[in-house]
Amino acid sequence: MAKIRANGIEIEYEDSGPRAGVPLLFINGFGSQMTSWPEEFREALEAAGLRVIRFDNRDVGLSQKWHGIVPDVRAVMAAMREGKKPDVPYTLNDMAADAAALLSELGIETAHISGASMGGMIAQLVALNHPQKARSLISIFSTTSDPSLPPSSPEAMAALTTPAPSTDRAAVIAHSLKGRRAYASTAYPFDEERLGRLIGANYDRMFYPEGSARQYAAIMASPPRTERLKSLTLPSLVLHGSADMLLRVEAGRHTAQTIPGAEYREIAGWGHDMPLGVIPAVVGFMTDFIGRVEAARSGKQAAAE
């Protein structure tokens, strides 16, 4: 892993897999470090020949922080309802600009843009705001943020927004494990031992709940993308699980219905997580889609010559 300056901020990133491979940018979700998903996911993508670029979003992990700025989320939501500019240090548009600038600083002209949950929202904005950087969009258990969509279950929302009772390592791990059960997959085992080790490793790398509060404000301060996504012409793949209680399956279906020509793949019993058992299916859908997009790109380039 290394640090680079992009879009005027310091970003911690990793560029792995075959150097000549097809570039895939992966954007993590709310409060989530780039090390938050199983290494098996990254390794499977690399084994398929992809050059995988991961990074810590601003205000999380080892990337730049906005220390001391504490947005009033209720005031942000009120401003959005009243059509006023919310008082936040940044929005999802700024986070999308980070992702696009990272690719430019790495000398990568275009990449497949993928993201999960909040990362999917950011990926959508990379495709909309920086289309010259995107070969395709892969939106993973994410949403258009349309207000008509059903809300999270109360248990899942509480798990996402309720802080741990203390900052002690063991307390944070136990609190996180309890919360994640509220939106976990139903078709795959909840591997508490493995997940606890992963949460602990990320705690040791950087425990910074303050940044999550600002990221949450950024989500609340960013308008729905429904109307803009209706004009997206980029090849798009939407992946979602039927058991997702945080961003319900209707959010994935709506995303796919909104984007013209988008492919939709729904996995039965998959929640808002990445258990080892679902990785082959997720990676399979992603690599098949990327392969077809690359074949179409090659065909167009050949026809132009």
184-225 confidence digits (pLDDT tens): 999 999 999 999 999 999 999 999 999 999 999 999 999 999
CA-CA distances (angstroms) from residue 67 to 58, 71, 72, 218?
11, 11, 15, 15
Instruction: Determine the Cα–Cα distance for residues 250 and 61; give it in Å rounded to an integer.
Output: 31
Question: What's the pLDDT score for residue 252?
Answer: 98
pLDDT beyond 70 at 305: no
CB atoms within 10 A of CB 188: 20
Model confidence band, residue 121 (pLDDT cutoffs 50, 70, 90): very high
pLDDT beyond 80 at 302: no
pTM over 0.75? The answer is yes
Instruction: Determine the Cα–Cα distance for residues 170 and 163; give it in Å rounded to an integer.
Output: 14
Sorted by where each begins, the domain ranges of the chain are 2-151+210-304
Instruction: Determine the Cα–Cα distance for residues 114 and 27; give it in Å rounded to an integer.
Output: 6
CA-CA distances (angstroms) from residue 201 to 34, 60, 169, 225, 278?
12, 14, 10, 34, 22
Instruction: Determine the Cα–Cα distance for residues 93 and 21; give it in Å rounded to an integer.
Output: 28
Residue with tokens 């990221």: 215
Residues 6+ apart with CB under 8 A from 143: 120, 121, 149, 247, 251, 252, 254, 255
Strands 9-16 and 2-6 turn out to be antiparallel
Instruction: Determine the Cα–Cα distance for residues 251 and 272; give it in Å rounded to an integer.
Output: 12
Model confidence band, residue 48 (pLDDT cutoffs 50, 70, 90): very high
> Cα–Cα–Cα angle for 128, 150, 255, nearest 5°?
25
pLDDT beyond 90 at 181: yes
Instruction: Determine the Cα–Cα distance for residues 217 and 97; give it in Å rounded to an integer.
Output: 17
Supply the DSSP string of 220-271, one letter for each residue.
HTS---HHHHTT--S-EEEEEETT-SSS-HHHHHHHHHHSTT-EEEEETT--
Q: Is the separation of the CB atoms in 228 and 182 below 8 Å?
A: no
Average pLDDT over residues 13-26: 97
* Exposure letters 105-142 (e unless 16+ CB within 10 A, then b): ebeeebbbbbbbbbbbbbbbbbbbbbeebbbbbbbbbb
Question: What's the pLDDT score for residue 14?
Answer: 98
Q: Is the separation of the CB atoms in 46 and 52 below 8 Å?
A: yes
* Exposure letters 247-273 (e unless 16+ CB within 10 A, then b): bbbebbebbbebbeebbbbebeebbbb
Instruction: Determine the Cα–Cα distance for residues 195 and 201; give it in Å rounded to an integer.
Output: 10
Q: Is 50 left (phi over 0), alpha (psi -120 to 50) or beta?
A: beta
Which CATH architecture best describes the domain 2-151+210-304? 3-Layer(aba) Sandwich (3.40)
